[in-house]
Every structure is written in C-alpha cells, then in structure tokens.
Amino acid sequence: MNRWAERLWSLLFLMVPVAGVGVFIWAMADGYGMRGHWLPENIDEQGKVIDSLFLFILGLTGVIFVGTGVALFWFLWRYGAAGNRDARVRYTHGSHTLEVVWSILPAATLLFIAIYQMDAWADAKIRRPTIVVNGQEQPKPPIAEITGRQFEWRIRYAGRDGVIGTRDDLFTVNELHLPVHEEIVLVIKTEDVLHSFFLPNLRVKQDVVPGMKQYVWFKPIRTGQYDIVCAELCGWGHYKMRGRLVLQTREEFDRWFEQEWNNQELRSYTPPEPEE
Amino acid sequence: MIQKSHNEVHEGDAARGGMTFWEFLNTYVFSRDHKVIGLQFLFSTLLWFLVGGILALGIRWQLAYPWQPMPIIGQWLFAEEGGQISPEFYTTLFTMHATVMIFFVIIPILAGAFGNFLIPLMIGAEDMAFPTLNMLSYWFMWPAFICIGLSFFAPPYGAGAGWTSYPTLASNPAAAPASGHAQTLWLLGITFVGVSSMMGSVNYMTTIIQMRAPGMTMFRLPLTIWGMFITAILQAFALPILTAAGFMQLMDRMLGTGFFHPGTVGNQQRGAG
C-alpha cells in the first residue's frame, strides 16, 4: 500500500467518529430526515432526571468512542508501513502501570454511574407516592389496574368508592385516560405471558411478570394523546399491542369518566325474563 | 528395526487404500482427534451460517419492503399471504435467525471449532484432556441440528418466542406463537446444545489447567487461550442453569408441570407473590 492509500484509509477511519457524532447532533437538532429520531417529548415531571442520566452516559461513552476512533486514525496516519520503512520496531512486554490504569478507570467510572443514578432509580421504582389518611402516611392507591394479555391492554378504573375490584369499576380496552398535574399510581399485571408496559413520553417502562403485581407512578405535566406500547416480545401479535394514553385536565377527566361509566351501565347485559 | 508410529501406519494404510470402513469412521467421523473435531465443528457451523444468512435476508426484505411480495420464493413459501412475509412470520424469522446465529454459529465456531483446533496447539498439549468426551460434545450437536431443522417444518413453522425463550410465552402451549410443536423441538434442540457445550467447557478448562507444556505458565499463555479459558469457565457456570431451565420449560409444555406458571402446583410460592 503506498503512502496516499494509507492516508486515504486513515481519513476513512476518521470519518467513523465524525459521522457518529454528526448523526447524533443532527438527530438532536431534529434535522432534515431525522425528525422523530431523537427522544420522544418528555411530559413527566421526573422525566428530565431520566433524560439527563441518558445524556450523561451518552456523553461519557461518546468521549470514549471519539477518543478510540481518533487514536485509531492517528496510529494509521502516523505509523503506516509505507512511511516508516526504515523505522525500527520497539517491542514491549507490557506495562503494569498502564494495565492498572485501564482496569481501575472503567471500574471507577461504572461505580460512579451506579451511585449517581441511585436517586433517580429510587424515585422511579422504590419511593411510591404517599397520601395521608387519618394522620397516617400510606402508599397512594392506584387509580387503575392495567392487565396485559395477548395482544391488548385491559384497563380497570376504581369507581366512585376508589377501590379496584368492586362492582362500580369502569372497564376500557387500550385507552387510558388520566388527569394531569397529579401523582398517578397504576397497578399492572398480566393474564398470560410476559409483557412490558411502556409509556415513552412519561419515561416509564416496567416488565409485567405472570403471577406478580407491579406498581408504576408518574406525574404528567401536559395534556394530549400519547402512545402505550408493549416493549417485550409477547407473541406473534406483539407489534400491534399498543394503546392510547389521553392526558386531560381533572375536569375533562371527570367528565369523560362519568360519561363512560354511564355508557357502560347502559351497555350492561340484562338477562331476559324467563319464559313462562 | 524402527518401530513405526501409530499415525504413520494409518497414513500408510490410507495411502494404499487399505483403511477399513470402521477405521475410516473412527478416523474421520467419530474421531477423537482435536483437529478433526475442530474441523467438524467448523464445517457444520458454516452450513448453519448459510441458513442464518438466508433467514436474515428474509428479515431485511420484510423491513425494507413491508406488505410487498417476496420475489421468486414468496409465492412458493407464503402463498396464503400473497407472497408477503406477514408480521407474524417475521417474529418467527428473527427468532430462528437469532437462534441459529447464536447457538449454531457463534458459540460452536468460536468455542467448538477454534477452541478445539487451537488450544492443544497453543499450549503444547498432545490433544484434549478427554478425547472421547470431545467427540461426544460434537455428536451431541447433531440431535440439536435435527430438532432445530425439524422445527422449521412443524406448525407454526419455526419457533417464535424469541431466542431468549422467555416463559411463559415459550413454556405455555396455549400461548401463541408457542402453540405448535415447533417451540417444543426448539427447546429440545437447545437442551442438546447446552449439554454439548458443557462437555466442551469441561474439556477446555481441564486441558488448559492440566496439560500445558513445561514452562508454559498461566501468565505465559497466549491471550487467545486466556479468552477461551474464561469463556469455558463462564459456560461451565451458566450452561447447567440455562439447560435446566430449558428442560423445565419442556416439562411444562409436555408433562404439564408448573415450573413457570404461577398458581400451578409446581409454583405455589411464586403464584402467591
């Protein structure tokens, strides 16, 4: 390979980190051809914490990615065979200092990430919102129960008594209405196989495991319609297991609830009178 | 008189066409020689590489041209869907592609082929520590090849529960798409792969620890051998668990046990959770 070919290959390898970083920046800027390829709009109060964690880890791995890419380019550019025919090769039998450094640095970085994200994890998965009842703090009860089954989300709202599992519950399929600016708690379970309840705009994703009940919570801050997705392969119809999340003001939500509840009561099946 | 070595006698016989059928079987088919076993692994996995590649083409076609008939073979394979790959069959395609590539190409080509061929050569050993076990580790792959091959012909024509085979999707015969025999054959096949890899890993670990040439200390081992050694340790830890889990899924499907089904007799504790 002659000197020019070596230089050309070096530059081609340099294009990898350049193009990699470029694509990310282009997607972040919502540039032409990349619309909707970055994170979906965040509409959760705590979502910015998850996003900042994502960006932090992306930045960290990005620096390593660019560093290794540039190092590869430099070695190809500087030490190619064509330009160093008379150079003497220096053999090395390893460096303990270097080995210790490149073992400790990644370990320390991973440990730092593990500690840094603990608060976000606790907020998302451990510290369930509470309410005070009779002077005692207790976990906030869920507003609805979501049941995954091949290939739909069945939703059961607590009725006027605020308790799920009683006769006044409201049932819907694939359509979840919720009020904004309130701490929402949902209980999720599955009737058949593994599913994953995913609300991309609320940065909520939770596996739904057969035989277990899971709780998720969030605080939406914007009204509108968003996606509910299954994020775990759950069978041949997994691709179509999606629902609609409708976020409304409290007044709109109450109106919708009342209307749906009345409709449900009208639709209820009444057995015919027995024939004489 | 110079005593001829065993190999020289065999090579002489073969050159004169004097190798009997049983000798041929022993030398080239049910061989205990690490190089022959390495080559057997290599060519078997290359064949599966071709199968995995063809399945990948199907995946890419569906992604690139959804709802369009597949050229040439579409009408033949998917006549009921007008020659198109349905999204449902796409699930089967990526499950089988991943299964083939991971269990029948990547693992056996790296550990089975290169491990067998290189480990004795690079550490100065005559052969593997357990040559018969080594031969068995290859031949245990064949029931796996047959089971996975048959699963393409059993309804619903390939497993579709993902290469991870998560229960209860994979273990419940009533859960689509695991409702046919394809998933059962898949689980049988992977169980055989697990047993084969376990036999291999025991051999690699023992050979590397016990059969290094004088002066070849652990810290003088080539990095390749260190990589294979660590891989063998990981396999020895992980595969018994994975194989047992696959076997329990099989029991759930075939004998109605309840290892993975909450609320059934075998899983009261989990069900209560």
Domains and CATH numbers, chain A: 3-81+99-124 (no CATH), 138-267 (2.60.40.420)
For the beta carbon of residue A160, count every other beta carbon within 10 angstroms.
12
pTM (global) more than 0.90: no
- Number of domains chain B contains: 1
Can you give the pLDDT at residue B1?
38
Q: Which of B160, B167, B271 is the closest to A236 by Cβ?
A: B160
Residue B77 domain-assigned?
Answer: yes
The C-alpha atoms of residue B86 and residue B69 are separated, in whole angstroms, by: 10
Position B220 in a domain? yes
CA distance B36 to A33: 53
A234 has a chain B CB within 8 A of its CB: yes
Residue B178 has pLDDT above 90, yes or no: no
Residue B273, chain A, CB below 8 Å: the answer is: yes
**B254 in Cβ contact with B181 (< 8 Å):** no
User: Would the CA dihedral through B103, B107, B113, B116 be positive or negative?
Assistant: negative
pLDDT digits (tens, 9 = 90+) for B189-234: 999 999 999 999 999 999 999 999 999 999 999 999 999 999 999 9
Token reading at A256:
């919708």
Contacts of B262 in chain A (CB under 8 A): 210-212
Question: Can you give the pLDDT at residue A86?
Answer: 81
Beta-carbon contacts of B126 under 8 Å, excluding residues fewer than 6 positions away, are B120, B211
Dihedral angle, C-alpha B102, B105, B106, B107, nearest 10 °: 80
Q: What percentage of chain B carries pLDDT values higher than 90?
A: 60
Q: Does A148 touch chain B (CB under 8 A)?
A: no
Closest alpha carbon to A230 in A203, A267, A200: A200
Range of the domain at B130: 42-257
Does B23 have pLDDT greater than 80? yes
- What does the pLDDT read at residue A274? 63
Give dist(CA B161, CA B174) in Å, integer: 13
Q: CATH number of the domain that B234 lies in?
A: 1.20.210.10
Interface of B with A in 177-206 (CB under 8 A): 177-178
Contacts of B105 (CB under 8 A, 6+ apart): B45, B48, B49, B52
The runs of H, that is alpha helices, within chain A are 3-28, 47-79, 96-116, 118-121, 250-267
Of A193, A232, A236, the CB nearest to B88: A236
> Closest residue of A to B176, CA-based?
A235
Helix (H, G, I), strand (E, B) or coil at A179: strand
Q: Is A150 on the interface with B (CB under 8 A)?
A: yes
**Within a domain: residue B87?**
yes
- Partner A contacted by B58 (CB < 8 A): no
Report the run of H or E that residue B24 belongs to, with start and end: helix B21-24
**Three-class DSSP category at A4:** helix
Could you tell me which of B228, B248, B64 has the C-alpha nearest to residue B167?
B248
Q: What are the chain B neighbours of A236 within 8 Å (beta carbons)?
A: 87-88, 91-92, 156, 160, 176-177
The amino acid that residue A266 corresponds to is L
Give the residue, B108 or B73, on which the prediction is more confident.
B108
Interface contact A236-B177, CB threshold 8 A: yes
Nearest chain B residue to A213 by CA: give it.
B273
What confidence tens digit (pLDDT) does each residue in B152-164 have?
998 888 888 899 9
pLDDT digit string, tens, across residues A80-126: 888 788 888 888 888 889 989 999 999 999 999 999 999 999 999 99
Whole-number pLDDT of residue A268: 60
Which residue among A150, A232, A240 places its CB closest to the CB of B176? A150
Q: What is the pLDDT of residues B96-130, one digit of tens each?
A: 999 999 999 999 999 999 999 999 999 999 999 99
Residue B239 lies in a domain: yes
CA distance, residue A193 to nearest chain B CA (Å): 5
Residue range A133-186, pLDDT digits in tens: 999 999 999 999 999 999 999 999 998 888 998 888 999 999 999 999 999 999
